[in-house]
Amino acid sequence: AQKITQTQPGMFVQEKEAVTLDCTYDTSDPSYGLFWYKQPSSGEMIFLIYQGSYDQQNATEGRYSLNFQKARKSANLVISASQLGDSAMYFCAMRRGRGAQKLVFGQGTRLTINP
């Protein structure tokens, strides 16, 4: 069975600093996808970044990058130059195989950016 583990319930970071949110995963499938979503207090789930298990390079989307270490089964999210608007819950998720997006989510990390 797939499992996503986010070991940081909460993180506090100073504005403009970089922050790394940890995510480890467990699967026996050779083909899988890894996602990060942001959930502000308003509740919507905002797609941030995606990494396929066969992708050769780490994914990047603007200030977001995914530090994909396949052998360690980790997919940490790095946010550069944090902003006050980055304060939110962050969820790591995994899709097994290809096709339908039946994602398994972690427990989430609450990120607070201090001015």
* Contact by Cβ (8 Å): 89, 103: no
Q: Decide: is 105 part of the binding site for another protein (CB under 8 A).
A: yes
Q: Decide: is 94 part of the binding site for another protein (CB under 8 A).
A: no
Give the x/- contact pattern for another protein in 39-78, rule: CB under 8 A: ---xxxxxx--x-x--------------------------
* Contact by Cβ (8 Å): 77, 89: no
Distance of CA 10 to CAs 21, 37, 109, Å?
10, 16, 5
Q: Please give the residue ranges that form the binding site for another protein (CB under 8 A).
A: 4, 33, 35, 37, 42-47, 50, 52, 91, 93, 95, 100-108
